[in-house]
Amino acid sequence: MKWQWGLTTLFFSLSATAQNLTSLQQQLVSNNPELRASISRQQASQNQAKSQWSPFLPELSASAGYGKENTLHDKDDGYVGYLSGRWNLYRGGQDWKNKGLATQESRIADFDLEITSRRLHRELGEAYYEALLNTHFISVDSEKLQFLQNQRAMARKKINAGLTSDVDAIELDLEESTLSAEIEAHKTDLQISKDAIKTLINSTDAVQLTTKETFPRVSESDFTSSDLARNPTLLKQQALEESTQLRRQQTQGAYLPSIDVNAQYGRLVPKYDDPLEATESRVSVLMTWTFFSGLETRFKSAAARDMEKAQGFEKNGTRLQLDTQVSSLRNKARELLQLRTLLEKRQTLTQKYYDLTLSEYRRGVKNSSDLASATNSLFDNRTRLLEVQKELAVLKLKFDELTI
């Protein structure tokens, strides 16, 4: 068992290279592929929103080539070359709605980025606290092994003195075997958590933790907030609802006319003369009003109204779901905080009980089973307290993901 204790000591001597949650979060922001992809989508949507200013500006173009006209009075063919311009003055307000839709899409991309960022930070925190829990478990079990080593020395003296049988030594062997198996299981769980961390921060470097890092001290005040005003999931639902409203208004604009100013200058009628010497021009203001489009506009308007209703229902459902989650997390935190208080009080009692039992065992008043029971009570309570501290830390991550 001494070799195993030595390896465990070496394991925890790597504290100089240990990483805390803050440093891992920085690597997450810099390296996580999913987060970087979400940032790129956000930037793309911002550029797409900026492009929606173009319909409000005139279009300019140049044309050149060969043409042939056969009209009622003339037959012309030859070169054509002219400059043309077009400026839309009115299109039933559809351009403004398109710009509004692009702005909403940009906002939705912002909320998607925030949702992704919050989720990844929460997942990283969960993996980190799980790894930290197993790191502490290994430390506690290793400390318990040292306790058993000391108890073995005392038991050997009593056996040699004829005060007890080999049963004490056998009991200690069984307990050490159980602890060795637990340590191996904790090491496996620790490696799984470390692999999850490496995936999230997109790194191949080893993740080092130390028992010097502890779980945050969570209190009931950390769970008092119920403000969902900045929750990105709810804000995204609101933006989606506004998008459906704009889309409905956009389809209604198709019932209105479109007014354009068109201008051309150059060789408009095909001639074999030098097109650069042309002085022809044409200016027009055209109103186009579509009276029938195969009922496309009507059905699109009906579909947009239905989508607006559906999005409203989804937003209300999301709000109810988030309220329920916040309430559940708060209630669970309250229970765990009460349990933590009881375990902290019990820790003092189990330590006192162990000290008294150890003293009486040395004097022959207590036997090995009494000492084993006191030892297990002491370390089981410490283990359970660590589990509660980890659960509270994870609850705080989930609560902050919703309310901050």
The answer to whether the beta carbons of residues 14 and 207 sit under 8 Å apart is: no
pLDDT in tens, 310-353: 999 999 999 999 999 999 999 999 999 999 999 999 999 999 99
* Amino acid at the residue 209: L
The answer to whether the beta carbons of residues 344 and 389 sit under 8 Å apart is: no
Q: What is the pLDDT of residue 346?
A: 95
| C-alpha angle 243-244-249 in degrees, rounded to nearest 5 | 95
| C-alpha angle 304-308-313 in degrees, rounded to nearest 5 | 150
The segments of the chain whose pLDDT lies below 70 read 1-18, 151-172, 275-276, 278, 368
Tokens of 384: 């359970």
Tokens of 393: 């830390």
CA atoms within 13 A on the CB side of 247: 21
207-to-77, 170, 200 alpha-carbon distances in Å: 78, 38, 12
Tokens of 103: 């702005």
Q: What is the pLDDT of residue 290?
A: 81
Task: Assign 367 to helix, strand or coil.
Answer: coil
Identify the helix (H) or strand (E) that includes residue 85: strand 75-91
Task: Assign 4 to helix, strand or coil.
Answer: helix
The DSSP symbol for 197 reads H
| CA–CA gap between residue 155 and residue 142 (Å, rounded) | 20
Q: What is the pLDDT of residue 7?
A: 37
| C-alpha angle 202-205-211 in degrees, rounded to nearest 5 | 105
Average pLDDT of the residues of the chain: 85
Q: How far apart are the first and last CA of the chain?
A: 48
Residue 81: what are its φ and ψ, rounded to 5°?
-170, 120
Q: What is the pLDDT of residue 36?
A: 96
| C-alpha angle 354-356-360 in degrees, rounded to nearest 5 | 115
376 CA to centre of own chain: 40
Radius of gyration of the CA atoms of the chain, in A: 37
333 Cβ contact partners less than 8 Å away, ≥ 6 residues apart: 218, 220, 222, 223, 392, 395, 396, 399
CA atoms within 13 A on the CB side of 380: 8
Residues 276-281: contacts with CB under 8 Å, at least 24 apart: 276/81, 278/81, 278/82, 280/82
Tokens of 334: 């309250």
Task: Assign 73 to helix, strand or coil.
Answer: coil
Q: What is the pLDDT of residue 271?
A: 80
Total Cβ atoms within 10 A of residue 47: 10
Total Cβ atoms within 10 A of residue 331: 11
Closest CA to 129 of 328, 386, 326, 399: 386
83 bridge partner residues? 62, 265
Q: What is the pLDDT of residue 5?
A: 37
- pTM for this model (two decimals): 0.82
Total Cβ atoms within 10 A of residue 175: 19
Closest CA to 343 of 371, 373, 376, 383: 383
The answer to whether the beta carbons of residues 139 and 211 sit under 8 Å apart is: yes
Q: What is the pLDDT of residue 343?
A: 96
Residue 58: what are its φ and ψ, rounded to 5°?
-70, 155
Q: What is the pLDDT of residue 338?
A: 97
| CA–CA gap between residue 76 and residue 149 (Å, rounded) | 111
Q: Give me the count of residues in the chain.
A: 404
